[in-house]
Structure 1
Amino acid sequence: MVLDLKTGTTTVGVLTPEAVILATDQRVSLGHIAYDDETNKLSKITDFIGVTNAGSVGDTMTIVRYLKSQAKMYEIEREIRISTKALVTLMANILSGNRYYPFEVQFVVGGFTGQPELYEVTPFGAILKRDKFAVSGSGTEPAMTALDLGYSENMSEKEGIKLAIRAISAGKRRDIFSGGRSVNVMVIDQKGIRELDEKTVEKISKEGN
């Protein structure tokens, strides 16, 4: 039997009035082995749209590459950026079209098209628009508990980042397939995408509530 690299994974998205925050753990597993603990499971599709990856590494990379190329072609042909909703619809169509031989993936998609937006896309192509937060991966239960307890509709961007880090940390503590040395964090607002470095994440996580 050939084993596939998988991201057992805890990934979350948190929506605030000014931005959407995506965060993930860093562990990749190969069967029962923790194969890598420094993997970035965040992917930048455009300057204003990012996704988290959960599932088969090969499948997620294939879809991410295709989405990047299609988003670029869309921009060249129409001379406007693809919207978050259009990108999510394209992703869902790809997954739905392969439902009889499905990709082993689940995505959380964050973007800014006039306002921050957050979606989940299931392995069979269902689109779930989220108004507060989104979670995927094997660490969903502990992460969702942290989000339920900590989420506030009017929270600031920094508060959203802290909450996302807490949720991923909860998944890493309680889910054996989630882990890694740090937490990857991506912030998407009206200025575009920025990813936080490890030192910044560590500093924010130590600040507490």
Structure 2
Amino acid sequence: MSITEYNGSSIVAMMGEGCVAIAADTRLGIQFQTIDTNFKKIFRMGPRLFIGLAGLATDVQTVYQRLTFRANLFKLREERELNFDVLLAMIRNILYERRFGPFFVDPIIAYFDEETGQPKIANTDLIGAECTAQDFAVGGTGSDELYGMCEALWKPGLKPDQLFEAVSQSLVNAFDRDALSGWGAEVYLIEKDKVTKSTLKTRMD
């Protein structure tokens, strides 16, 4: 088993019309043994800016701590909030600095730009090579299943309610087919005037 699959995870970000959503399962396991069902994998980095971290749980926590430190330093120096490009540059730098002994994480960023009214999503590999997307991005042990579900359910121009339904159904149906993730989910729906957090109760077997 790959070290990135040791704890299990499934994360997806999906774009809609004037909105963007990011969702993750809440299981923490040691291979097939479940340890916790409320492990946080999505973190708020700004008013409309979120990052999801899939992969090895200890590295998820370490990368988030380093990211928080750099984000706080940026806010003190620049006297402004982080945006999409700054956060993406930060996570790329953190990961590339450790390229010879990498952090085993799979980051996904979801952002709604209030100035342009455009949502943005991106993900990187474990050494910081970025990939921006116009539809959806997936990560974690359930990524193969998530690709199939997202391709089936995503379409251009999804309204907020439709986007929430699509991202929730994609995640839940994908991790039902992945023994290393699941046991509940968190969904963040990001719009221009609000951010809605939802908790999904799912199969726990």
What is the TM-score when the length of structure 1 is the normalising length?
0.86
Q: CA deviation at 1:189?
A: 2.5
> 1:160-199 maps to which residues of 2 (within 5 A)?
160-180=163-183, 182-191=184-193, 193-196=195-198, 198=199
Quote the offset at 1:160 in angstroms.
1.0
> Are the counterparts in 1 of residues 8 and 31 from structure 2 also a CA contact under 8 Å?
no
1:15 aligned onto 2:15: yes
Secondary structure of the equivalent of 2:38?
Answer: coil
Shift in Å at residue 68 of structure 1?
Answer: 2.0
Tell me the alpha carbon deviations over residues 90-140 of structure 1, each in whole angstroms, 9 at most, x when there is no partner: 101110110100001001111123321101111011111011000001111
* CA shift in 2, pair 1:151/1:31, >3 Å: closer
Structure 2 counterparts to residues 114-133 of structure 1, below 5 A: 114=115, 115-133=118-136
How far did residue 174 of structure 1 move?
0.8
Match of 2:162 among 146, 159, 163: 159
Q: Determine the C-alpha separation between the residues in 2 that align with 1:125 and 1:131.
A: 19
Partners in 1 of 2:178 and 2:188 — Cα distance? 22
1:97 maps onto 2:97 in alignment: yes
List structure 1 runs of 4+ shifted beyond 6 angstroms: none
Identity %: 20
Name stretches of at least 5 consecutive residues in structure 1 with no aligned partner.
none
CA distance in 1 between partners of 2:138 and 2:4 (Å)? 23
Task: Give the partner amino acid of 2:36.
Answer: D
2:149–2:174 CA contact under 8 A, matched in 1: no
Return the offset for 1:69: 2.6
Give the corresponding residue for 1:70.
Answer: 70
Deviation by residue 1:177-208 (Cα, 9 ceiling, x = unmatched): 0111x221012232354322x3xx46xx9xxx
How far residue 148 of structure 1 moved from its aligned partner, in angstroms, is: 0.4
Q: CA RMSD for the aligned pairs?
A: 2.1
Distance 2:119 2:193 in 1: 11
Q: Is the 8 A contact 1:119 1:134 kept in 2?
A: yes
**Alignment correspondent of 2:25:** 25
Tell me which amino acid in the other structure corresponds to 1:55.
G
TM-score (norm 2): 0.88
Cα distance change, pair 4–133 in 1 and its aligned pair in 2 (3 A): closer
Determine the structure 2 residue equivalent to 1:81.
81
Aligned partner letter, 2:145:
P
Whichever residue aligns with residue 161 of structure 1, its letter is F
Measure, in 2, the Cα distance between the counterparts of 1:151 and 1:34: 31
